[in-house]
């Protein structure tokens, strides 16, 4: 019953809102651990699987740490492991993040 209500609602949404929801879905499916994704090769089914992924803890390239994208909690052990793999100084600390964030992002 719940799904039928959602389907009913989805078909009545304004096209502009659906458009921006699709953009949000694709953006989510191509950031963090999926940042190497070639966008034209991403299927809709794979994007939906990534949206439904229950682990929102991902690498944040802007402040160079691993954090929960729901509430911003930083995971110290995973951050240090990721930083080692990427050749960044460890152990990570908030003071280190302040200095790194002042630098322009390197892509």
Q: Summarize pLDDT for 62-98 with one digit per residue, the tens.
A: 777 787 766 777 788 888 888 888 888 788 777 776 6
In angstroms, rounded to a whole number, what is the distance separating the alpha carbons of residues 83 and 23?
30
Q: Would you say 29 and 51 are in contact if contact means Cβ atoms under 8 Å apart?
A: yes
Per-domain boundaries in the chain: 1-53, 55-107
The helix (H) or strand (E) run that includes residue 60 is: strand 57-60
63 vs 40, higher pLDDT: 40
Q: Which two tokens stand for residue 71?
A: 């509430």
Judge if pTM exceeds 0.75: no
């Amino acid at each position: 019953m719940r799904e039928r209500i959602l389907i009913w609602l989805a078909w009545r949404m304004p096209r502009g809102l659906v458009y921006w929801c699709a953009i949000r879905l694709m953006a989510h499916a191509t950031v963090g651990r999926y940042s190497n994704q070639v966008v034209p090769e991403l299927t809709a089914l794979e994007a939906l699987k990534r949206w439904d992924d229950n682990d929102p803890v991902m690498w944040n390239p802007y402040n160079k740490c691993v954090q929960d994208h729901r509430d911003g909690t930083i995971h110290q052990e995973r951050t240090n492991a990721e930083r080692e793999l990427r050749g960044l100084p460890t152990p990570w600390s908030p003071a280190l993040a302040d200095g790194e964030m002042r630098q322009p992002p390197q892509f």
